Chains A and B, each alone.
Chain A
Amino acid sequence: MIGVGKVKQYGNVLDKPLNKGKQEVSLSAFAFLFSELVQYNQTQVDNIGELERRLEDAGYAVGARVLELLCHRDKVILDPDMRGYYSGQSSSILSLKDLSLGMGNRRETRLLGILSFVHSTVWKVLFGKVADSLEKGTEHEDEYMISEKELLVNKFISIPKDMGTFNCGAFVAGIVRGVLDGAGFPAVVTAHFVPMEGQQRPRTTILIKFAEEVLQREARLG
């Protein structure tokens, strides 16, 4: 019965000032909510692929809004110590020099700029820390990876054996895709577990494969 109910009387939500974004809720509140999101979506699908796609869609909606929110909030405060880019064997290290940090009231237009925005600013705001690493794939020019040793959404999740490669990180992949798409960098974004030597839990890698047009534009910009 969409369409019934009281006529709204409140002011426009856009008239409200954007607060500083410092409010917090307990991690358990988020974990309980996220677990309901996963469980509900499990009832709506018959295979893992579909479940991941639905979680990604939910994340996309979050990402699109996060981009808007952060671009409108005057100054995004960045921590001075944004170090710790992971150097893996299969990738080249991106140094801080390559990344133009900082953003205020504007949207990034360059590839490395938007990647650092996701890896640093978005991660810091959503997860309280900069992502563990940002790497460029060495085999494909259009692939980049953001990795996290313990991704927030996987913290309380264990994957039953019969669900194979399912990764709740699909939700975060969706957030990344939402931010990138909204900023004009369409990409295919997926989440994968990568086993770590000497560690019990695998890390989660968010693989970003940019659309061809993005790389062409980047090349034109020089």
Chain B
Amino acid sequence: MPPVAPRSGDAIFANVERVNAELFTLTYGAIVRQLLTDLEEVEEVNKQLDQMGYNIGIRLIDEFLAKSNVSRCNDFKETTDVIAKVGFKMFLGVTASVTNWDADGTCCSIVLEDNPLVDFVELPDNCQGLYYCNILSGVIRGALDMVSMKTEVTWLRDVLRGDDLFELQVKLLKHVPEEYPYKDDE
């Protein structure tokens, strides 16, 4: 049987169950507000959002692989391309692009023009240190962790902080060699 071709983000998004983005946006806002009330320190909120994203990422990768037919990526460039073109589209309905590659191909930027998390949002003066969308960087880190890539994901630009775009820098730290025997075979 020939391998099944990977599906485009648009095709997957058109076929999955969807919900109103405003429910998603406002629910995320409620989470951020709860964290700000509970943790008080903006730094702690950033950390918690990243942790929540990581938890989501390690679960989300399964659905991503199952629905996208994407097989093992040959290099990190292909990986980030798949995140931007398929991943973001499939879950959030938006497309991202990849730019600013470094010379050895281990660090690049994922750029988002549209981000459903930030509709209706304005950072008040006392929350200026907040990375409002930090959950997204956690998701990417968690998902890549599950396919043996340790990464560092940081926000370079954020519309809520006055930039024109959202820019996430994804840096490949190392490939974790797979260990044999696989746990599943035990």
CB closest chain-A residue, reference B45:
A2
Q: Which listed residue, B20, B125, B162, touches A10 by the CB 8 Å rule?
A: B162
B149 interface residue, CB < 8 Å from A?
A: no
A6 to B159 Cα, complex, angstroms: 12
Chain A: minimal CB distance from B134 (Å): 13
B92 interface residue, CB < 8 Å from A?
A: yes
- The answer on a CB contact under 8 Å between A40 and B31 is yes
A66 to B119 Cα, complex, angstroms: 13
Majority secondary structure, B binding face = helix
- The answer on a CB contact under 8 Å between A1 and B43 is yes
Interface size class of A (residues with CB under 8 A): 35 or more
- The answer on a CB contact under 8 Å between A2 and B29 is no
- The answer on a CB contact under 8 Å between B18 and A13 is no
A9 to B122 Cα, complex, angstroms: 11
Given A32-B60, A36-B55, A58-B31, residue A6 in contact with residue B22 (CB < 8 A): no
Contacting residues, chain A, for B105 (C-beta < 8 A): none
A34 interface residue, CB < 8 Å from B?
A: yes
B28 interface residue, CB < 8 Å from A?
A: yes
- The answer on a CB contact under 8 Å between A1 and B41 is yes
- The answer on a CB contact under 8 Å between A62 and B30 is yes
- The answer on a CB contact under 8 Å between A9 and B162 is yes
CB closest chain-B residue, reference A3:
B126
Q: Which listed residue, B20, B43, B160, touches A21 by the CB 8 Å rule?
A: B20
Majority secondary structure, A binding face = helix
Chain A 116-129, CB-CB to B under 8 Å as 1, else 0, gives: 00000000011110
Given A1-B129, A8-B125, A12-B122, residue A25 in contact with residue B18 (CB < 8 A): yes
A27 to B59 Cα, complex, angstroms: 14
Chain A 13-43, CB-CB to B under 8 Å as 1, else 0, gives: 1000001010111111110111011011100
Chain B: minimal CB distance from A36 (Å): 4
A161 to B163 Cα, complex, angstroms: 49
B156 interface residue, CB < 8 Å from A?
A: no
Q: Which listed residue, A8, A40, A69, A126, touches B48 by the CB 8 Å rule?
A: A40
A26 to B17 Cα, complex, angstroms: 6
- The answer on a CB contact under 8 Å between A126 and B22 is yes
- The answer on a CB contact under 8 Å between B19 and A5 is no
A93 to B35 Cα, complex, angstroms: 42
Contacting residues, chain B, for A151 (C-beta < 8 A): none
- The answer on a CB contact under 8 Å between B129 and A26 is no
- The answer on a CB contact under 8 Å between A28 and B31 is no
Which of A24, A44, A61, A66: most chain B Cβ within 10 A? A24
Considering the complex, which residues of chain B in the window 56-95 have a beta carbon less than 8 Å from any beta carbon of chain A? 56, 59-60, 63, 90-93
- The answer on a CB contact under 8 Å between B24 and A30 is yes
Contacting residues, chain B, for A62 (C-beta < 8 A): 23, 26-27, 29-30
Given A25-B91, A32-B59, A36-B56, residue A8 in contact with residue B20 (CB < 8 A): no
CB closest chain-A residue, reference B60:
A32
A34 to B19 Cα, complex, angstroms: 13
Q: Which listed residue, A4, A33, A57, A65, touches B24 by the CB 8 Å rule?
A: A33
CB closest chain-A residue, reference B49:
A36
A7 interface residue, CB < 8 Å from B?
A: yes
- The answer on a CB contact under 8 Å between A1 and B42 is yes
- The answer on a CB contact under 8 Å between A65 and B26 is yes
B-side residues, CB < 8 A to A, are: 13, 16-24, 26-31, 33-35, 38, 40-43, 48, 52, 55-56, 59-60, 63, 90-93, 116, 119-123, 125-130, 135, 159-162
What 5 pairs between A and B have smallest CB-CB spacing?
Answer: A5-B128, A9-B162, A23-B21, A13-B122, A27-B17
Q: A5-B129, A8-B128, A24-B19 are in contact. List 11 more A-B contacts (CB 8 A).
A: A12-B122, A13-B122, A26-B13, A26-B93, A29-B91, A30-B23, A33-B24, A33-B28, A40-B31, A59-B30, A61-B33
